[in-house]
Amino acid sequence: MQPIIRAEHLGKTYRSGKIEVPALQDATFTVDPGEFVSIVGPSGSGKSTLFYLLGGLTRATSGKMIIDGVDFATLNDGERTEMRKSKIGFIFQKFNLLPTLTARQNIEIAYGISGRSEPLDKGHLAHLTDMLGITDRLDHRPSELSGGQQQRVAIARALVTRPAIILADEPTGNLDTASSDAVLEMLQRSNREFKQTVLMITHNPEAASIADRILRMRDGKITGIEAGLGRVVHATI
């Protein structure tokens, strides 16, 4: 089986004038299709930098990031954007919903931007929003939703295109326990029921324990990769 993600001696140094920050150094790992991997490490250890590289949101300064057999470095900006739109769903700590649009419009516009040729599958969307418990919130704007509800809308937005890979950067970082569990349960179901590959960055050891594998980072380096517990999440909302 070909890995869906392959990082080879991947590195990123931020440069500004004479200042250089080696945010990620010599990261080598693979992820198989359908795996759930947690990425843990203290603040400043390079987790978000790795997330941006995985999503093709920034360019590596050394090494390779290969997604589904394609090396990001061989793509021009337009091709990278297409790759991202066709294969990856993003979930951020701060939700990043468009404030003037309703929840439903946020999801629909993301689907439109993804450039899928087939129309949005309303049945799939209804299934997602039902699983996420936000069906009755779809005509509200983000300011009228709780943080947990906003993150569940953001998850529906990421999943509606059925991406092969879901990248989540601290998705439960701003949430209470019940909302966190709802988010984690949905990520786990996406992984187990829809066979999507999930990479989740988290500070929280409890959250990390739902993964198949845990990748540990410190000071811009991967310090270990170990088996996760595969803990099953049952949310109460």
Which among 45-53, 97-105, 172-180, 205-213 is the span making contact with ligand ADP, rule CB under 6 A?
A: 45-53
**Residue 46 in the binding site for ligand ADP (CB under 6 A):** yes
Q: What are phi and psi of 196, to 5 degrees?
A: -80, 145
User: Which of residues 5, 11, 38, 47 is near ligand ADP by CB under 6 A?
Assistant: 47
Give the binding site for Mg ion (CB under 5 A). Answer: 47-48
Indicate the residue among 40 and 107 with the shorter CB distance to Mg ion.
40
**Residue 11 in the binding site for ligand ADP (CB under 6 A):** no
Which among 2-10, 40-48, 76-84, 129-137 is the span making contact with ligand ADP, rule CB under 6 A?
A: 40-48
**Residue 70 in the binding site for ligand ADP (CB under 6 A):** no
- Judging by beta carbons within 10 Å of its beta carbon (0-12, 13-18, 19+), is residue 224 exposed, middle or buried? exposed
49 binds, among ligand ADP, Mg ion, none (CB under 5 to 8 A by kind): ligand ADP
**Residue 21 in the binding site for ligand ADP (CB under 6 A):** yes
Q: What are phi and psi of 113, to 5 degrees?
A: -65, -30
Min CB(46)–ligand ADP separation in Å: 4
User: Which of residues 48, 102, 190, 196 is near ligand ADP by CB under 6 A?
Assistant: 48
**Residue 41 in the binding site for ligand ADP (CB under 6 A):** yes
Indicate the residue among 91 and 156 with the shorter CB distance to Mg ion.
91
Rounded to whole angstroms, how far apart are CA atoms 95 and 77? 25
Which among 1-9, 39-47, 110-118, 132-140 is the span making contact with ligand ADP, rule CB under 6 A?
A: 39-47
Q: Closest-CB residue for Mg ion?
A: 48
Q: Which amino acid is at 34?
A: G
Which among 1-9, 38-46, 88-96, 204-212 is the span making contact with ligand ADP, rule CB under 6 A?
A: 38-46
The site for ligand ADP (CB under 6 A) is made up of 14, 21, 23, 41, 43-49
